[in-house]
Amino acid sequence: MGICDNRTIIVTGSGSGLGREYALLLAGEGANVIVNDIRPEAAASVVKEIEAAGGKALANSDDITSMDGAQRIVDGAVARFGDVQGVVNNAGIVRDRMFASLSEQDWDDVIRVHLKGHFCLASILVRRWRDQVKNGQKVDARIVNTSSGAGLQGSVGQSNYAAAKGGIASLTLVQAAELGRYGITANALAPAARTGMTEKVFADVMKKPDGEAFDHFHPGNVAPLVVWLCSPLSAGVTGKVFEVEGGKLSIGDGWRTGKVRDKKARWQPAELTEVVESLIAEAPKPQKVYGT
């Protein structure tokens, strides 16, 4: 028996890296897994691994950045397994440039894959789950999004990626606030792991250790939280952004209103220097932007 028995979960970008680890462990915990990846051979390879271990999975290479593609993914899952109980929005790309050198295409590609890719599948599924509730069916559904430390505190050379990941964190908060009435939870991850997107930039920091030492940046270290979030055990948890690295787990503490100065009247521009300086002095020191 596993904690995700008989639950069908879609995992995007699951042909390698983090997504592959999520798919394998979800299947190991009893889930039917839709292995979505734009590389058909990669998706098929993961499905083969799952089936060899006795699990159930379906390979899919439809486009997550279009509503038509998202609908085909959901339709395929329903046709094979009867229903869908969750989605792990994991697929992503990077187009790293300093902001002054960033092209319009660099911006559009990253925003499309991350932000629109998170929207399309969730939109199709939420409408399906809402209709089920309206028809008297009990829903216990999960949206697991992927933010990043870059989205939570910024990252030099990744303004497009950081903007997309910050947007995903905010999207998660709104989804959680709006969708709880339908039995849907929404949470996000900010994982730190060795993947195709990080191995070049952080090759030395994230390299596999020698011998039997704990592999701190192995992507499999993130998978247990994803499986738990997709399971019935997490029904009471929503609207959180989890930071995961190695054996470390924390919940991000987002933007909050800081100290307030209230003049009870309109400020004059020249008097704001002293006010702003005092507010900055009293505020908690922010985490540094990555790369500074």
CB-CB neighbours of 95 under 10 Å: 16
The dihedral over CA atoms of 82, 59, 239, 2, expressed in degrees to the nearest 10, equals: 70
| Whether residue 101 lies in the annotated active site | no
Q: In terms of Cα–Cα distance, which of 148, 8, 180 is closest to 87?
A: 8
CB-CB neighbours of 107 under 10 Å: 17
Q: Among the options 161, 231, 234, 240, which is catalytic?
A: 161
| Whether residue 148 lies in the annotated active site | yes
The dihedral over CA atoms of 217, 218, 221, 222, expressed in degrees to the nearest 10, equals: 80
| Whether residue 165 lies in the annotated active site | yes
Q: Specify whether the CB–CB gap between 128 and 64 falls below 8 A.
A: no
One DSSP character per residue, 129-192 reads HHHHHHTT----EEEEEE--HHHHH-BTTBHHHHHHHHHHHHHHHHHHHHHGGGTEEEEEEEEE
Q: In terms of Cα–Cα distance, which of 225, 229, 239, 237 is closest to 86?
A: 229
The dihedral over CA atoms of 185, 191, 195, 197, expressed in degrees to the nearest 10, equals: 90
Q: In terms of Cα–Cα distance, which of 22, 11, 291, 13 is closest to 162?
A: 291
Longest dimension (CA), the chain: 71
Q: Among the options 148, 159, 231, 234, which is catalytic?
A: 148
What the block records as the tokens of 291 is: 């790369």
Q: Among the options 165, 231, 234, 240, which is catalytic?
A: 165
The residues that are catalytic are 148, 161, 165
